[in-house]
Amino acid sequence: MAHATWLADVLRERGLRVHEEAGWKERGHGGLGEIRGVMLHHTAGPAEGNYPSLAVVRDGTSALTGPLAQLGLARDGTWIVIAAGLAYHAGRGGPWRDVPVDTGNEHLLGVEAESVGTRRDWTEAQLDSYPRGVAALLTHVGLGVERTIAHKEWAPGRKNDPAHWPGDMRAFRDTVAGHLGA
């Protein structure tokens, strides 16, 4: 089991803004298994602030210890690298492709993008940066656009994220595919 200590470099190489949270290379609930995709989330956090959900995503809650994702995406389009190891983001769900039931945390990189989740509040910076960053991650691990999964696809009926993305997941994947082709 490995740690994805390459995350910050891969995102920067694609020209994305990156903030490395102190201690991220050692943070996680052990190592990751083989990475088989990228899972998209929204934080369901506060309506104000650039990335007000940082403490929760990094440290967790009383019910679930952090990290709750390897990566965050702030409203200004900055990628926040939180953990290189396993994060508790997927929960119960699946199966999906070659990811067995309830093993999403082990095989899927998690991205928690800042959004209230109850209305369309995605910023222009996020609309640009989210698909570009996902394309960079997929390229690095040698996977195609079909390896992009929404939390709501992993756990239908239980999760709805990322909610209110314009055009939903088809449009998101189409944009990622365009970046993979570039």
Q: 77-90: per-residue pLDDT in tens?
A: 999 999 999 999 99
Order of strands across the sheet with 148-150?
A: 18-20, 79-81, 71-73, 108-113, 37-42, 148-150
Confidence of residue 92 (pLDDT cuts 50, 70, 90): very high
In a domain, 40, yes or no: yes
Query: Per the structure, how many domains does the chain have?
Result: 1
DSSP reduced 3-state for 40: strand
Average pLDDT taken over every residue of the chain: 97
In a domain, 2, yes or no: no
Confidence of residue 1 (pLDDT cuts 50, 70, 90): low
Residue 81 confidence (pLDDT): 98
d(CA 32, CA 132): 23
Residue 135 confidence (pLDDT): 98
Residue 182 confidence (pLDDT): 60
Entry pTM: 0.97
Average pLDDT score over residue span 121-147: 98
- The tokens describing 64, both together, are 């679930």
Question: In this predicted model, what pLDDT tens digit does every residue of 151-166 receive, in sequence order?
Answer: 999 999 999 999 999 9
Confidence of residue 117 (pLDDT cuts 50, 70, 90): very high
Give burial (CB, 10 Å; 0-12/13-18/19+) of 120: exposed
Report the sign of the C-alpha dihedral through residues 134, 140, 141, 146, in that order.
Answer: positive
Residue 48 confidence (pLDDT): 97
In a domain, 163, yes or no: yes
Nearest Cα to 39, choosing from 162, 141, 157, 178? 162
For residue 99, the enclosing domain spans 7-181
CATH number at residue 136: 3.40.80.10
d(CA 158, CA 164): 16
Confidence of residue 105 (pLDDT cuts 50, 70, 90): very high
Average pLDDT score over residue span 40-45: 98
Residue 180 confidence (pLDDT): 94
In a domain, 45, yes or no: yes
Question: In this predicted model, what pLDDT tens digit does every residue of 26-38 receive, in sequence order?
Answer: 999 999 999 999 9
d(CA 81, CA 72): 7
In a domain, 175, yes or no: yes
| Spacing of C-alpha 150 from chain mean position | 9
Confidence of residue 181 (pLDDT cuts 50, 70, 90): confident
DSSP string, 60-73: B-SSSBSPS-SEEE
**pLDDT > 70? residue 16:** yes
In a domain, 1, yes or no: no
